[in-house]
Amino acid sequence: MLDKTKKRYRLRIIIPGYPEFNIYSRVAKGTTALGPVCVASVANKMEKWDVEIIDENNLRRYGPVAEAGKANHEFLQDQRPADVVGLYGGLTSTIPRLYKIASFYKSKGAITIAGGQHFVEDNIKEALNSSIDYIVKGEGEKTIKELLRTLEKGEGENKVKGIAYKKDGDIIETPDRELIEDFDKFPLPDFSLVRYAKIKMYPVGRIRGCGMNCEFCTVKGRPRYATPERLLETISKLLEIKDARHFFIIDDLFGQQRKETIRFCNMLEKYQKDVEKRLDFVVQIRLDKAKDHELLSAMRKAGINTVAIGFESPIKEELEAMNKHIKTENMVSLARTFHNFGFLVHGMFIFGYPLRENVDFKMSVEERIKRYRKFIKESKVDTVQILLPVPLPGTELTHRLKQENRIYPIEDIGWQYYDGNFPLFEPDEPLTAVQLQNALKKIMGGFYKFKYVFSIVWNIFHFPAIVFFLHNIKRGWRIWYRRWRNHLVRFGGWIVMKEWETSFKKGDFPENLEKARQKIKE
């Protein structure tokens, strides 16, 4: 219960740190998660509440650091005691760390609230038995206000929509809250609430939901749209206050609302001309949007330089299992269209996706690796991310694999491994779990190599020659920069791969995997 004698309360929202061996740690040091910022921005407008965000993956400005680079919560609670602690459960691999943090704050008398896409189905029960007082189901902007007001009064939890909690040993779930439709009712994301962080890439968004219905994905439902004006205002505010230049538009599918997307791009182009600043944007987009040249042209003029595309697989049978509606024979030409428009293309893949029952298809791991390497080379993608399938909580993929008794027991292969870098279930024959993990190393290791450190130096000295040959400084710069940047990233990727392999060797995953496989066979 909150102390009713206090005039003000503090809400601390915490983004738990990745496991030590996570390959995304370097990227996370320069950004943060948008969801917690949106929720915190709403709570910060409440009369009696002071709000702050601690991102354990980004503690670069005098942050109180303790074990393994994570936040020193003992120090934080001594200096600025939190009455309520919100915990972001949007990434399943951070859940063990989330529970550990919750246990600490619970021992200090704070009320603990958790939310995010991990907390569905049976995981709600697990969380409420792991030092969590309240689970927020679904979107949190409305729920956090109602819940905090209820905590101030000390009664009426059952009247708050969209939460789960324990009472007298029983789990109570209130009715789900309706989805947000009018985003203009809420304040713009306030990134100044993120303490100790040094943010270089700001996450912003306009669209929630996705109608593509991919089997492995947690993002479902009818897309809902904020206005282009709101997104532009968010960008403008960040430029003015934070001098932000780099943005990641986190919409799952940029361009879902085609006309409004093009209008936004045109507004963004004009805005940059008016303020005489050139901004840089990364978006996630479907491969088949390459057919829409008007959209691509508007995107380039608006400063969208990098597109992240979920190719997922160059194997037809796997795409069909995923519910991906794209033909493999068209994928290379569509990818090259993005390349020809001048976009940097980040290709995202899922290796070894499990097929549905009654599909008569078998392919050796060697042939799969060959297919992936060939596609990556022919499509001219600039950077790649290849992961193993992850049976995330609540997805159709997870339900299917559970019915087939293929998912490794969580007591052996815990949530910390649910980041796409580890085999989590028995794969299709003739593949084995060890083969899948080694295949990732082979493909990524063939793309990110040490030798590119020499190419970086070579490119520096050959810049004048390229410009002279093309007789065009602007075009020469673009060609040179793309090559130089890609070689730099590929060398950097080699460093990350080496760090990951070192951490992996220190862990006990191989032993745990063998235990899990034996249980599945029994």
How do residues 273-283 score in pLDDT, each as one tens digit?
Answer: 999 999 999 99
Mean pLDDT, all residues of the chain: 91
Residues 231 and 341 in one domain: yes
**What is the CA angle 159-161-162, rounded to 5?**
140
At residue 143, the pLDDT reads 97
pLDDT(477) > 70 = no
Range of the domain at 489: 448-522
CATH number assigned to the domain comprising residue 150:
3.40.50.280
Q: Contacts for 341-344 with beta carbons within 8 Å, 24 or more apart? A: 341/293, 341/296, 341/297, 341/300, 342/300, 342/305, 342/478, 343/296, 343/299, 343/300, 343/304, 343/305, 343/306, 343/307, 344/305, 344/306, 344/307, 344/382, 344/383, 344/482, 344/485
Q: What is the DSSP string of 25-66?
A: HHHHTT---HHHHHHHHHHTTSTTEEEEEEETT---SS--B-
Confidence class for position 358, pLDDT limits 50, 70, 90: confident
Residues 91 and 32 in one domain: yes
Mean pLDDT for 243-268 is: 96
Residues 141 and 54 in one domain: yes
Identify residue 52 by its one-letter amino acid code.
E
At residue 462, the pLDDT reads 60
Look at residues 212, 225, 297, 210 and name the one whose alpha carbon lies nearest to residue 257. Answer: 225
Evaluate whether residue 250 is within a structural domain: yes
Residues 434 and 452 in one domain: no
What does the CA dihedral 350, 351, 352, 358 come to, rounded to 10 degrees? 40
Mean pLDDT for 448-456 is: 82
Residues 510 and 368 in one domain: no
pTM, full prediction: 0.93
Residues 471 and 335 in one domain: no
Lowest mean pLDDT among 55-69, 194-208, 494-508: 494-508
Tokens of 388: 């193993």
- Please give the Cα distance from 115 to 132 (Å, whole number): 10
pLDDT(429) > 60 = yes
- Please give the Cα distance from 129 to 165 (Å, whole number): 10
- Please give the Cα distance from 60 to 277 (Å, whole number): 26
How do residues 89-136 score in pLDDT, each as one tens digit?
Answer: 999 999 999 999 999 999 999 999 999 999 988 899 999 999 999 999
pLDDT(453) > 90 = no
Q: Are 39 and 140 in contact (CB under 8 A)?
A: yes
Mean pLDDT for 58-79 is: 90
Confidence class for position 521, pLDDT limits 50, 70, 90: confident
Residues 208 and 357 in one domain: yes
Residues 283 and 414 in one domain: yes
| Domain end among 104, 138, 173 | 173
